[in-house]
Amino acid sequence: MPRNKNPEETIQKILDASLKLFCEKGFDETTILDIVEEMGASRGAFYHHFKSKKEVLYALLERNYNIEEHQKIYADPELSGLEKIRHLIVYSLDGFHSTDVQLTQMMLNLLREPQALAEHVKDLRGEGVLELQKLVEQGMKDGSIDRQDPQALTELILLLLDFWLLPTVYPVSDEVYEKKVLMIKRVLDGIGCPLIDEKSLAILRGLADKYTE
């Protein structure tokens, strides 16, 4: 393939080729050689943009992530800290819900691997945590969230919503998954941080139908 002066176009071709192969052959059976042959490129073109298949998979899932929408929620002066977090939860769940089921299932299966799971846990302590903590602190200032340790509450929210609910970490049936969601709601409500409302409950139930046992 001729040298592409537009890196975004090359990245798009890698993602398109990878998605096609992941869906046809599965993530484990697809090799980087398969991907570069599918797009008619060299290994160098692939490794210039991605270090591994796993990075490609994360990039595919992030296609539905709209940074502008998130920034708009963060900056909305009409929303309390609690309302902003609720909006972000619903927005993220909606994106997860609309992502290709097979692709999302591959991502969940990847998290069965110890290294990938360890990296996911590390992500829970990354930059996104600081942004969430700012909203938690805002909620405490405006009274929408009860005053307590903001860092501990932020970590608790992430552990409950972005770890304990992972069906690949804790495999459960639809019925048990819903009980877990309701338990999380009771816990957060009980400590004065009522994040899970009816809208997010409905989306979580839809996810349970797709991704639980």
Each residue's pLDDT tens digit, 56-84: 887 886 765 666 777 888 899 999 999 99
Give CA separation, 167 vs 103, 109, 205, 212, in Å.
Answer: 15, 9, 13, 6
Q: How confident is the model at residue 114 (pLDDT cuts 50, 70, 90)?
A: confident
- Residue 65 buriedness (CB in 10 A; 0-12 / 13-18 / 19+): exposed
Report pLDDT for 170. Answer: 79
Percentage, residues of the chain above pLDDT 90: 35
- Mean pLDDT calculated for residue range 39-54: 90
Query: In this model, does residue 156 exceed pLDDT 60?
Result: yes
- Residue 198 buriedness (CB in 10 A; 0-12 / 13-18 / 19+): exposed
Mean pLDDT of the chain: 83
Query: In this model, does residue 2 exceed pLDDT 50?
Result: no
Q: At what angle do helices 127-142 and 150-159 cross, to 10 degrees?
A: 120
Query: In this model, does residue 5 exceed pLDDT 80?
Result: no
In this predicted model, which residue has the larger pLDDT, 8 or 86?
Answer: 86
Report pLDDT for 100. Answer: 62
Percentage, residues of the chain above pLDDT 70: 77
Query: In this model, does residue 144 exceed pLDDT 90?
Result: yes
Domains by residue range for the chain, with CATH: 7-61 (1.10.10.60), 66-211 (no CATH)
| Of 84, 70, 98, residue with least CA distance to 136 | 84
Sign of CA dihedral 181, 105, 114, 151: negative
In this predicted model, which residue has the larger pLDDT, 53 or 27?
Answer: 53
Separation between Cα atoms, residue 113 and residue 79, nearest integer Å: 39
Rounded to two decimals, the pTM is: 0.73
Query: In this model, does residue 50 exceed pLDDT 90?
Result: yes
* Tens-place pLDDT, residues 96-108: 555 566 666 666 6
| Of 96, 114, 95, residue with least CA distance to 104 | 96
Q: How confident is the model at residue 1 (pLDDT cuts 50, 70, 90)?
A: very low
